[in-house]
Amino acid sequence: MSSESGVAAKLDPKKDSQLSASGYGLDTSISDGAVWQSAFNPAVPSGVIRLQTGTNPPETCKTEYFEPPLLADGKNYAAFHNRGLMVDSKGVAWVSFAGNGRLGRLDINKCKVRSGPAATGQHCPEGWEFHQVPGPEVKGGAAFSADYSYLMPMDLFDTTGLGKDVPIVLGSNSDSLLAFNDQTKKWTIMRVPYPIGFHARSADGRIDDPHAGWKGKGTYASYASGPVWTQEGGEDASGPQMVKFQFRPNPLAY
């Protein structure tokens, strides 16, 4: 969690600088066409990259870089080691931080600085919000979630039945998908019950029949391969599977 490995600390504000980072989650904003990517390495703090291609790429390409903000102690970050990233219909980026189990919300419209020598990654703390994922935390020190997240889907079109623009965090250690409502700031946990076991790496929604209500749509997630082999019953217990999640509008809906 130390700030010593942060990219921003290594830049010379008097010069144009190249940032090198390993990309992971990738999405394109349907609101403005910007390309977003999570930069998960170095893991502390990790960052978010936004690319606007302009009218004549690559000459007009412009890239912005954002890091989760430092805490008041000046040493630790509000979140770190991101994996998944998706963008909602309003152009707000949602980031799944596997390092300490936080869902980050980045609205660059709130940024006071977007360019210039001060735009080194730590220039927009006002644009960030962080939400702790449900479940237990690791004991003995800083706040780390016992769950582990990976890539993440964004339910833009209410395929699950929880509303539009719902970011979903993959609870790889909790047999679940974790959906977040930005209006209520509450989580909905979609858990596959024990002893079936469930270890998702990604998920996506689909509408098969827009006139069939909740029956005509759903969110699908697959089992990841490695952890399946260590489930009860071994590799042959479940094999590759797909899980479909649907929400009825009320318990008696048919």
Alpha-carbon distances of 145 from 18, 43, 103, 112, 231, rounded to whole Å: 33, 16, 11, 31, 22
Cα–Cα distance measured from residue 192 to residue 223, given in angstroms and rounded to the nearest whole number: 11
pLDDT at 214: 95
Query: In this predicted model, what pLDDT tens digit does every residue of 207-236 receive, in sequence order?
Result: 999 999 999 999 999 876 655 555 566 555
Q: Does domain 1-148 have CATH number 3.40.50.2300?
A: no
Query: In this predicted model, what pLDDT tens digit does every residue of 103-119 receive, in sequence order?
Result: 999 999 999 999 888 88
- pTM equals 0.89
Distance from the Cα of residue 239 to its chain's centroid? 27
Q: In terms of DSSP bridges, do strands 82-87 and 93-97 run parallel, antiparallel, or are they unpaired?
A: antiparallel
Helix (H) or strand (E) holding 227: helix 225-228
pLDDT at 113: 94
Query: In this predicted model, what pLDDT tens digit does every residue of 192-208 receive, in sequence order?
Result: 887 677 888 889 999 99
* Rg of the chain on CA atoms, in Å: 19
CB 11 within 8 Å of CB 18: no
Spans of all domains in the chain: 1-148, 153-254
Query: What is the mean pLDDT of the segment spanning 149-171?
Result: 95
